[in-house]
Structures are given as structure tokens and as C-alpha cells.
Amino acid sequence: MLLFRLARNKLFSMISIMSYLRGFSVSYRVSITRVDVSIDLAVERAIELIGGITKFVKKGDTVLIKPNLTRVTSEPHVCTSPDVVRAVIRLCWRAGASRVIIGESSPVGVDTEKAFEVTGMKKGAEEEGAEVLNLKKCPQVIVEVPSGRMLKRIEVAKPVLEADTLINVPKLKTHCTCLITCAMKNIKGVLSDASKRELHRLGLYEALVDLVTVVKPKLNVVDGVIAMEGLGPVDGDPVEMGIVMAGDDPLAVDVVAAQVMGFRVEDVPPLRVAIERGLAPKLEQIEVLGEPIERVRRSFKRPEVDLEKYLKCVEIYMPRACSGCVGTIMNVLKIFEKSGELELLRKYIIIAGPIEESEIPRVAGKQLILFGNCTARYRELGLFIPGCPPRIGLTVPTLERGCITDVEEERYLRRLKKNGE
């Protein structure tokens, strides 16, 4: 009788009833819409399904929209689409926002202002009457993390804290260390570069979960129009998904996103940690509105961080390296493999990421390759490849010489200076 009454009540969808039967109360809502007519309509409907824009943006609000600008590129599967952001901006104006800012602090080593320009985000935002803001250049405020297990305090860009509403607009992508990157991981881009490095140094998965306990977007709108599979978050392949997702809880959004990409939630390390800590909902606690997951699900190619394959030839030690160095090293290894030169790396140990001197493996007969600026302080110990991540690359001639040539280094430094890094 009770079930009959629930079924008649439009507020309860089938999924709610199933959850009720399993003993879970549904307390999260995530919507999925298809881009059939336009991105604008898909974004509007996704937000409408979870309560409409006026639930999140009030008259007179200053809104800060945080896209994902992870590289200086116009490739549509790497960064958040400017069209998705444009649609969100229009809705904010419609809700009566007084100021809309598109704020980003791209990964360490990536020029945020160039990323704004090359992705088309700056042009799109300005045409919609919004401002773009490089959060790296803003004053940073120290924020305590009271329930942090790894992070005790972080540096957050001041405009993020001053905004009335933070809207997180991530891209749906695979990630070489976290398996997926979506709402939770995108929040990292409100931090100073120093805090981003600290996250990796302390242990990315726990630290990301710590971060979402203090930086909470009111709304998350996922750009799943052209997603990424394989070696994400920058070197993967495009996937035409044609969807938009929305939800008010970043962890609930990521739980659904993992399912949409064909992954088990517990295989996504930061989500697994969040679930263990009782912070992320189970799928059964989430009401999925709009398109059912089964109708949009696609098995994404995993990021091929198939280190096992390479570890037979090369010793690699990068326990806390971020995706910049992990992705670049994987690409370097693939290039060596393709040219049949992987064996050349047998006499080396590659080290990347923030590590302590006591952790550096020293093996008789093996030379060290110190990959990336995190290892710069040990540069005297072996072949140092500068960059964050290195863009000169690790090549056979570099190995043969045992050093980066002055010309290469000079060219590299010039490029850094030109980019203002």
C-alpha cells in the first residue's frame, strides 16, 4: 500500500522506490541530459531537473564559475567547453546575478591566461558579459581544514571565498592517477600552486577528500559533451558523449560520473577514500534524473598507466608525482617503445614528483634521471630534465649526452619567460 502511494507521487521516481526497498534514503540528486537540440538547452534542463538556477543563484549574487583549463590548447576534449560555460553564464544573469567571474588557476606550470585565450574561454566569457580572472595572480587566503586528515590548512584564491556562489564546471575525463577527473578533482584549481604541490606531496587521494570538506561549490555542471578516455587528463582520446550532468554535491556527481564512464565507484581512488570516510554517497542514495545511467553509459578506455609492462625494462619511482609528470613519462616510454629503444633505459632509474632525499633509490650500476622541477634540488645526482612537467622531453640524444644541451635549456628558459612562468 505504501509503495503504491509512493509510486503515485511524482516526487518519487522508480529509483527512489528501489532505494527505499534497499533501506537507503535518497538525499542526493544528479541529473543527466543529452545535447540533442543545443548545449544551452541541455545545460538549462540539467539544472532545472535539480531545482533550477534560482535555487543556486540569488538576485545580486557575485558568482564565480570554475572551469577546467588544464592545458593551453584548443582541442575540445581537454578543457571545459566555452559553450557550456556560456550557457551557465546566461542562466546566472537570468537569475539576477550582479557579477559573473570565470576564475581558474591552471595546473602548476600551465599559463592560465594563455589557457583562457587559446581555449576560447576568454572570448566566450567576455561576449556574455562575464570577467575572466587568473586566480594565480589573486591574493590567497589561508583556510583551516578542521577535519583534514592530510591537509591542515590550504591557500585559496580570495575571490573564490568572496563569491556568493561557486559553480564548478568540470570536464568528464579519465585520469592517469585518479582514474577519473570530474567535480571533486576540478576544485583543486581554486588553490595556490604551493597548496596544489602540497596535495601531491601529502597524498593526493586523502588530500582531495580533505579539500572538499572546506571548498564546497553550490552547483556542479559537468561538460560531458566531448569527453576524454585513455591517458587523461591531457593526453587521452576524445569521446563524443553529448551529455551534461548537474548536481549540488560534487561527490554524488562523481559517483554517477564513474558509472557513466563504465567504472566501478570503488575503483576510483579518491571516491573510495571518500566512501571509507563516510563522505560520499552510495549510488543507491542518489536519485538520477533525466537520462538513466544505463542509457548513456559507455565503457571508457582506462588510462594506460601500464607501468608493469615498462617496469620490466625501466625502474620508475614517482609515488607522489602529479598527472603532469606521470602522463609525460608514459608518453616518453611509449615513444621509446615504438622506436624499439626501451632497452636503452634499462640502466636508469626515473624519479619524479616531490620526494625526500632518503627515498631516492641508489642502485649500483644505475644512473638517475630526475624528471621535472620537483626533483630540481637533487639535480646534481643525475640527469635532470627541467620543466613542470618537462616539455623538452627525454630523448635518446639527451641520454647519450647525459645532459640537456645549453641550447635546449636556453630555449626552454626563454619559453618559460615568454609565458610568464
Q: Of 235, 287, 290, 227, which is closest to residue 262 (Cα–Cα)?
A: 227
Asked if 353 touches ligand SF4 (CB under 6 A), the answer is yes
d(CA 338, CA 341): 8
Minimal distance in Å, beta carbon 375 to ligand SF4? 7
Asked if 389 touches ligand SF4 (CB under 6 A), the answer is yes
Interacting span for ligand SF4 (CB under 6 A) from 124-132, 265-273, 290-298, 367-375 = 367-375
Q: Of 34, 12, 40, which is closest to residue 297 (Cα–Cα)?
A: 34
**What secondary structure does DSSP assign to 155-199, as a single string?**
EEEHHHHH-SEEEE--EEEEETTTEEESHHHHGGGGB-HHHHHHH
Asked if 109 touches ligand SF4 (CB under 6 A), the answer is yes
Could you say which of 199, 211, 374, 399 contacts ligand SF4 (CB under 6 A)? 374
Task: For residue 269, give every residue at least 6 positions away whose Cβ sits within 8 Å of its Cβ, in sequence order, or none.
Answer: 177, 178, 179, 205
Grid coordinates belonging to 312: 620490466
Asked if 322 touches ligand SF4 (CB under 6 A), the answer is yes
Local structure of 213: helix, strand or coil: helix
Could you say which of 321, 342, 385, 394 contacts ligand SF4 (CB under 6 A)? 321
Q: Which helix (H) or strand (E) holds 120?
A: none
Asked if 325 touches ligand SF4 (CB under 6 A), the answer is yes
Could you say which of 261, 324, 384, 399 contacts ligand SF4 (CB under 6 A)? 324
Minimal distance in Å, beta carbon 330 to ligand SF4? 13
Checking 270-273 for CB contacts under 8 A at 24+ apart, the result is: 270/178, 270/184, 270/185, 270/204, 270/205, 270/208, 270/209, 271/184, 272/205, 273/205, 273/206, 273/208, 273/209
Task: For residue 393, give every residue at least 6 positions away whose Cβ sits within 8 Å of its Cβ, in sequence order, or none.
Answer: 328, 332, 385
Could you say which of 388, 394, 399, 404 contacts ligand SF4 (CB under 6 A)? 388
Angle at Cα 164 formed by Cα 160 and Cα 55, nearest 5°? 125
Grid coordinates belonging to 93: 544573469
Q: Which is nearer to ligand SF4, 142 or 376 (CB)?
A: 376
Interacting span for ligand SF4 (CB under 6 A) from 160-168, 218-226, 277-285, 370-378 = 370-378
Q: Of 318, 377, 313, 384, which is closest to residue 345 (Cα–Cα)?
A: 313
Minimal distance in Å, beta carbon 334 to ligand SF4? 18
Give the total of residues touching ligand SF4 (CB under 6 A).
14
Minimal distance in Å, beta carbon 5 to ligand SF4? 55
Q: Which is nearer to ligand SF4, 122 or 188 (CB)?
A: 188
d(CA 375, CA 352): 6
Interacting span for ligand SF4 (CB under 6 A) from 76-84, 234-242, 319-327, 393-401 = 319-327
The interface with ligand SF4 within residues 170-209 (CB under 6 A) comprises 197
d(CA 63, CA 399): 50
Q: Which is nearer to ligand SF4, 274 or 322 (CB)?
A: 322
Interacting span for ligand SF4 (CB under 6 A) from 254-262, 290-298, 358-366, 371-379 = 371-379
Could you say which of 57, 87, 108, 178 contacts ligand SF4 (CB under 6 A)? 108
Q: Of 383, 392, 385, which is closest to residue 415 (Cα–Cα)?
A: 392
Instruction: Tell me how crowded residue 373 is: count the other CB atoms within 10 A of its CB.
Output: 22
Please give the C-alpha separations between residue 312 and each of 99, 346, 383, 386, in angstroms, as whole numbers. Answer: 55, 9, 21, 26
Minimal distance in Å, beta carbon 80 to ligand SF4? 20
Minimal distance in Å, beta carbon 177 to ligand SF4? 10
Interacting span for ligand SF4 (CB under 6 A) from 40-48, 139-147, 281-289, 320-328 = 320-328
Could you say which of 352, 355, 368, 385 contacts ligand SF4 (CB under 6 A)? 352
Q: Which is nearer to ligand SF4, 186 or 373 (CB)?
A: 373
Q: Which residues make up the interface to ligand SF4 (CB under 6 A)?
A: 108-109, 197, 321-322, 324-325, 352-353, 372-374, 388-389
